[in-house]
Amino acid sequence: MKKKVCIAFIGVVCLLLAGCYEVKRTEGLRVACQKILLANSLLDETSARKDLTDETRKHLIDSYNKAALSVNSFLDAIEEKSANVVDVPLSAIYTNSASSDLDTFISAAYAAKAKLDSGQNEKVDQTKKAERQRKEAQRLEDIFVAADAKVKGILELNRKKSGESYKIFKDLIDSLKMNVIPPQKP
């Protein structure tokens, strides 16, 4: 056991001395990215709807803003810890309030969509229902592909020059940050 720890420590020291960037675990970033992209997509979709009540719109904005603040805090913490090594295990996102705040917004957005669509569902035939489901499945697939591309960009930084890699990593993290929405005036 001591031998493994010693070898790992020597490996890290060699990487630091060589000025190389190390990417260990990115599963937590992948899940965070998927949730962030889904939340942003749902925000765009629901904010474009004219049939939302003011109360529902306010609730969605408040929920999104809460998620944005916790997500940005989560991303800032990752950025600070990742000057030389990226290590974001899956547990990092699930033990952070960012995950539950994103889940709350995503659930609220889907609930708002479902409520609005339920009144229209009686009038919509099966073909249009199937088309909606296909579009939703395509949106999720596109989000997963985009998240994988961002994480792949991070994985490609492994063993590259530390300073340049950290700048690229920082830019990728900054691109994930969520914008807080100002309160809407009735």
pLDDT in the model for residue 87: 93
pLDDT in the model for residue 50: 86
Task: Give pLDDT tens digits along the chain (186 positions).
Answer: 555 444 544 444 444 434 678 999 999 999 999 999 999 999 999 888 888 888 999 999 999 999 999 999 999 999 999 988 999 999 999 999 999 999 999 999 999 988 876 666 555 567 777 888 899 999 999 999 999 999 999 999 888 888 888 999 999 999 999 999 887 665
In a 13 Å sphere around the CA of 86, the CA atoms on its Cβ side amount to: 33
The region, left, alpha or beta by phi > 0 then psi within -120 to 50, assigned to residue 61 is alpha
Please give the helix or strand (H or E) that residue 24 lies within, else none.
Answer: strand 22-25
Token digits of residue 134: 């296909």
pTM > 0.85: no
pLDDT in the model for residue 89: 94
pLDDT in the model for residue 140: 92
Angle at 7 between CA 3 and CA 12, to 5 degrees: 150
Distance between CA atoms of residues 36 and 109, nearest Å: 13
DSSP notation for 73-128: HHHHHHHHHTSSEEE--HHHHHTSHHHHHHHHHHHHHHHHHHHHHHHHHTTS-HHH
Distance between CA atoms of residues 80 and 72, nearest Å: 12
Residue whose C-alpha is closest to residue 46's, from 63, 29, 26, 23: 63
